[in-house]
Amino acid sequence: MDTVHRIRKRMKELGYIQKDLILYLEENQSTVSKWISTNEAIRNDIPNTILQKIAIFLETTTDYLLGNDDFPVVKKDSQIEIKKNEDYNITIKNDDIDLDLILVKTYDDVYASAGFGNELISDIAPKKQYFERSFLQNIYGVENFKDLEMIRVIGDSMLPLINDGEYILLEKKTKPKNGNIVIAIVNDELYVKKYVVTDPFNGYCRLESLNSDYTHIEVDTKEKVNLLNILGIVRSKTKVY
């Protein structure tokens, strides 16, 4: 019996329907349907973090769902705890697991321009993705774990550092340091640029393009400073294939 059939069997034993699972996981119907579809042609693999949540929901273990254990009932001494805080981050714990998962909202339709600016518009809800806190902290240097987002870049003004079409991880509400790559709103348009301090006393700065074919954006008056909105700093980039 494969994982999907074990999930369905356990749901039936507990009197759950698919809608109950969807509400618990806080995922859309199409995504969950493909995870637990009995049709292998359309079935998608269940991410490990989601499988752990399903196991908790079904009062069982991932070992049972994966076919490594034939006993569906969780033993008391191996009970898994799951906690969600107000920022929608998740802690999963038992004797063998200690995961601190951080929510990263991923927007497929929000683009930061590496060229001449792009409107800040989102027509769809973000996807919810979870990353281990230690990974974000040690690999990407994330310091503020609230309001992490991934958006896409269009344009080539940040070459060779950031390529057209790549996703960037944005750490919001973090004060930028000189030399940071930032996401900034200038005249209601969204940019990804290098932040360079030009006059720390007056708050003046320059938003630099790394590609010499593009001009920089000078923030050199009080009016421009007041209009500038730096959303946060870029911690990483990735290409989605």
DSSP 182-239: EEEEETTEEEEEEEEEEETTTTEEEEE-SSTTS--EEE-SHHHHHH-EEEEEEEEEE-
Amino acid at 16: Y
Task: Give me the residue spans of the domains in the chain.
Answer: 3-79, 103-238
CA distance linking residue 60 with residue 75, whole number of Å: 9
pLDDT digit string (tens) for the chain, length 241 residues: 789 999 999 999 888 899 889 988 888 899 999 999 988 888 899 998 899 889 888 888 888 899 887 777 655 444 555 566 655 566 666 555 566 888 888 887 777 766 545 545 555 667 778 888 888 998 889 988 888 999 989 889 999 999 998 999 999 888 899 999 999 998 888 899 999 999 999 999 999 999 999 999 999 999 999 999 999 999 998 876 5
What does the pLDDT read at residue 239? 75
How many separate helices (H) and strands (E) can be counted in the chain?
7, 12
What does the pLDDT read at residue 76? 46
CATH placement of domain 103-238: 2.10.109.10
Q: Does domain 3-79 have CATH number 1.10.260.40?
A: yes
Other residues' Cβ atoms within 10 Å of the Cβ of residue 114:
26
pTM, full prediction? 0.63
| Residue 145 φ then ψ, to 5° | -95, 10
CA distance linking residue 158 with residue 161, whole number of Å: 6
CA distance linking residue 135 with residue 158, whole number of Å: 25
Q: Copy the structure tokens of residue 131.
A: 């990353």
Are domains 3-79 and 103-238 of this chain identical in fold?
no
What does the pLDDT read at residue 234? 95
